[in-house]
């Protein structure tokens, strides 16, 4: 028989949500209640009969509550295999009673860290007895039911009602699996806190606890499975908790897909670079920006960003750094757009978007800090690659002008704008910019020369569509995310009309590239920092 009747339950919880209702349901089945500290008091105050853990074990709580459930009568009652004669004999010899149900949730370690508690208070909120009981009960799930989440109380109550005060093996297995996941996440949070306390950016052993937030229809393609998970680490300086796309409020539109999440995150990452800038709009497609612009208003910025590559913008993702207004929303809805990301939106904008039932509007609140710390993880066959987040911002004092021609104030502004965007373009990346707007973007090519050519070609195509007399790369600044290994990429940029180049420098052929820039009569700036993005 796989159903186990619950006769004795041990309850010891930090989160008291639903506790009284659970206790009442257990008492209705004549289940003996054993409890500790505040849990026992709350149950007793509700009129329920409760046996204190010290009376059950015959041993007092001590050391400020550090030792109360760590006792053979508790763990023997949990771990004993009820149909094993030797175990039964040991229980009888040592006066150990079976415990059939354990309801435990753990000390609020993450919450203690999050409130900025001192080290000693954090240490005191590392639960020892709780995880020990959870693991003992979960190991012996053939005979013992373990519940760690108040959200599961209704399921437990229903099961007891349906089975005459018993639980099924299937439910005990599911509860046990969840219990081990809970203790694993708890220990991972403690481990992460210790790593941060010891200033270990990349610790020898790293466990990243994740919680499933939602199932997705499919992954990148319909034959792939996908889900959204969010980290449950405490808020640490090395790995700060950030409210991003995963926490954004979806105002309207159909559910986000796997690809939507990836693209929206890339758009948020880029627009955050401009969170303190003039009104700025990012248009992004397949994780690459296809238009970025700043202006006196969002509508002005949107039009300039769209002009960079209106073809690629179709079905794209848009992010803005200001509360979205009606005029900009009206312009956005003039072409098919998948997702719009904004810190806020006024009622006029919401009303306009409401007419496009499939368009998703995500409200993020304050944009993330672009220079925040963090970790990037990427799976490979047989392992995981982990690196610190590229949160570096350009130090303008460290810029080195390496050409005879020096950039004007406007050329420097254009160069810095292009450089900011290039950081978020897949390598090899080339970005032309002029007057606070991108005018040509080349992304993800196998060589830098082709990226420069594609970006220039796109700019020429945009000029034809707009009816401009010439490409807006004329008089632009061009940014390269890594050094030009040969002069040919720079020559292509100058032929497209760029008058300023910004790049990291550091190639063994730097002088060849500098000579080409001097020959062309343009300015070139070295940043000393590379921004590959694969």
Q: What percent of the chain has pLDDT over 70?
A: 98
Q: Which residues contact 490 (CB under 8 A, 6 or more apart)?
A: 452, 484, 501, 513, 516, 517, 520, 524
Tell me the pLDDT tens digit for each residue of 241-290.
778 999 999 999 999 999 999 999 999 999 999 999 999 999 999 999 99
The span from the first CA to the last CA of the chain, in angstroms, equals 56
The residue written with tokens 């509550």 in the block is 65
Determine the Cα–Cα distance for residues 280 and 272; give it in Å rounded to an integer.
10
What does pLDDT average to over the chain? 92
Tell me the pLDDT tens digit for each residue of 435-452.
999 999 999 999 999 999
The values of phi and psi at residue 232, to 5°, are -115, 25
The continuous run of DSSP H or E covering 13 comes out as strand 8-13
Kindly state the average pLDDT of the residues 44-51: 93
The CA-based dihedral angle spanning residues 152, 154, 157, 161, taken in that order and rounded to the nearest 10 degrees: -130
Between 502 and 202, the more confident residue is 502
Quote the DSSP letter at residue 368.
P
| Residue 423 · residue 273 · CB < 8 Å | yes
pLDDT of residue 61: 74
In the predicted structure, residue 224 carries a pLDDT above the cut 60 = yes
Active-site annotation holder among 29, 87, 178, 286: 286
Determine the Cα–Cα distance for residues 440 and 322; give it in Å rounded to an integer.
24
* Tokens found for residue 264: 């929206």
pLDDT of residue 49: 93
The CA-based dihedral angle spanning residues 191, 194, 199, 200, taken in that order and rounded to the nearest 10 degrees: -30
pLDDT of residue 375: 82
The residue written with tokens 């299937």 in the block is 170
The residue written with tokens 């020990």 in the block is 132
HSE (side-chain half, CA atoms, 13 Å) at 389: 16
Determine the Cα–Cα distance for residues 410 and 487; give it in Å rounded to an integer.
25
Q: How many CB atoms lie within 10 A of CB 162?
A: 10
Kindly state the average pLDDT of the residues 470-490: 94
- The vertex-303 CA angle with 300 and 304, nearest 5°, equals 85
Active-site annotation holder among 139, 303, 350, 356: 139
In the predicted structure, residue 62 carries a pLDDT above the cut 70 = no
* Tokens found for residue 242: 């950030």
In the predicted structure, residue 1 carries a pLDDT above the cut 60 = no
Determine the Cα–Cα distance for residues 514 and 302; give it in Å rounded to an integer.
35
- The vertex-76 CA angle with 108 and 79, nearest 5°, equals 75
Determine the Cα–Cα distance for residues 267 and 358; give it in Å rounded to an integer.
19
In total, the chain counts a number of residues equal to 534
pLDDT of residue 75: 84
Determine the Cα–Cα distance for residues 349 and 361; give it in Å rounded to an integer.
10
Kindly state the average pLDDT of the residues 229-239: 78
pTM (two decimals): 0.85
Q: Which residues pair with 294 in a beta bridge?
A: 280
Tell me which residue of 269, 238, 297 sits closest to 364, measured CA to CA: 269
* Tokens found for residue 369: 């800090």
Distances (CA, A) of 407 to 225, 281, 400, 483: 51, 26, 11, 19
Distances (CA, A) of 441 to 28, 32, 419, 454, 532: 69, 70, 12, 7, 15
Does the active-site annotation cover 139? yes
* Tokens found for residue 503: 């790049």
Does the active-site annotation cover 424? no
| Residue 304 · residue 437 · CB < 8 Å | yes
pLDDT of residue 453: 95
Q: How many CB atoms lie within 10 A of CB 420?
A: 21
pLDDT of residue 492: 94
The values of phi and psi at residue 316, to 5°, are -95, -170
User: What's the sign of the alpha-carbon dihedral 329, 331, 334, 336?
Assistant: negative
* Tokens found for residue 383: 């392992």
The residue written with tokens 């206790």 in the block is 23
Q: Which residues pair with 207 in a beta bridge?
A: none
* Tokens found for residue 91: 């229980």
* Tokens found for residue 357: 């039932």
In the predicted structure, residue 531 carries a pLDDT above the cut 80 = yes
Q: What percent of the chain has pLDDT over 90?
A: 72
* Tokens found for residue 112: 């203690």
The values of phi and psi at residue 451, to 5°, are -60, -40
Determine the Cα–Cα distance for residues 91 and 87; give it in Å rounded to an integer.
6
Cis preceding-peptide flag for 87 (omega within 30 of 0): no
Tell me the pLDDT tens digit for each residue of 382-409.
998 988 889 888 888 889 999 999 999 9
Q: Which residues pair with 33 in a beta bridge?
A: 9
Tell me the pLDDT tens digit for each residue of 90-106.
888 888 888 999 999 99
pLDDT of residue 198: 84
């Amino acid at each position: 028989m796989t159903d186990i009747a619950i006769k004795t339950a041990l309850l010891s919880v930090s989160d008291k949500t639903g506790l009284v209702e659970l206790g009442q349901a257990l008492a209705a089945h004549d289940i003996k209640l054993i409890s500790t500290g505040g849990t026992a008091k709350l149950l007793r105050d509700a009129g329920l009969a409760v046996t204190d853990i010290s009376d059950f074990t015959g041993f007092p709580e001590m050391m400020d509550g550090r030792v109360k459930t760590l006792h053979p009568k508790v763990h023997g009652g949990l771990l004993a295999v009820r149909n094993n004669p030797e175990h039964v004999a040991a229980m009888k010899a040592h006066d150990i009673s079976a415990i059939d149900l354990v309801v435990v949730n753990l000390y609020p370690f993450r919450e203690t860290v999050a409130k900025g508690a001192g080290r000693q208070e954090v240490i005191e909120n590392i639960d020892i007895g709780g995880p020990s009981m959870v693991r003992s009960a979960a190991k012996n799930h053939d005979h013992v039911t373990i519940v760690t989440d108040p959200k599961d109380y209704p399921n437990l109550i229903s099961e007891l009602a349906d089975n005459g005060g018993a639980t099924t093996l299937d439910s005990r297995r599911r509860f046990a699996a969840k219990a081990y996941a809970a203790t694993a996440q708890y220990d991972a949070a403690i481990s992460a806190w210790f790593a941060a306390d010891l200033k270990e950016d990349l610790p020898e052993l790293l466990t990243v606890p994740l919680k499933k937030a939602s199932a997705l229809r499919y992954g990148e393609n319909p034959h792939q499975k996908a889900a959204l998970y969010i980290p449950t680490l405490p808020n640490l300086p090395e790995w700060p908790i950030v409210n991003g796309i995963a926490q954004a409020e979806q105002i309207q539109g159909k559910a986000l897909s796997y690809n939507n999440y990836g693209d929206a995150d890339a758009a948020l990452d880029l627009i955050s670079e401009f969170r303190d800038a003039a009104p700025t709009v990012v248009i992004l497609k397949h994780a690459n920006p296809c238009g970025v612009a700043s202006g006196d208003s969002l509508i002005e910025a949107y039009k300039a960003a769209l002009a960079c590559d209106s073809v690629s913008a179709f079905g794209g993702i848009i992010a803005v750094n200001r509360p979205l207004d009606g005029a900009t929303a009206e312009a956005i809805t003039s072409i098919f757009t998948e997702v719009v990301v904004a810190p806020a939106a006024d009622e006029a904008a919401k009303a306009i978007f409401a007419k496009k039932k499939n368009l998703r509007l995500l409200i993020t609140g304050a944009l993330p800090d672009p220079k925040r710390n963090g970790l990037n993880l990427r799976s490979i066959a047989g392992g995981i690659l982990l690196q610190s987040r590229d949160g570096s911002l350009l130090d303008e004092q460290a810029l080195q002008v390496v050409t005879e021609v020096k950039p004007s104030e406007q050329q420097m502004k254009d160069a810095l704008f292009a450089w900011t965007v290039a950081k978020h373009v897949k390598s090899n990346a080339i970005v032309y910019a002029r007057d606070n707007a991108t005018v040509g973007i080349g992304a993800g090519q196998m060589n830098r020369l082709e990226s420069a050519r594609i970006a220039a070609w796109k700019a020429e195509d945009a000029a034809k569509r707009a009816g401009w007399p010439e490409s807006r790369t004329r008089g632009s600044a061009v940014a390269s995310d890594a050094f030009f290994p040969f002069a040919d990429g720079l020559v292509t940029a100058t032929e497209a009309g760029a008058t300023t180049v910004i790049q990291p420098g550091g190639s063994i052929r730097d002088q060849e590239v500098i000579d080409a820039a001097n020959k062309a009569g343009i300015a070139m700036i070295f940043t000393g920092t590379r921004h590959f993005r694969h």
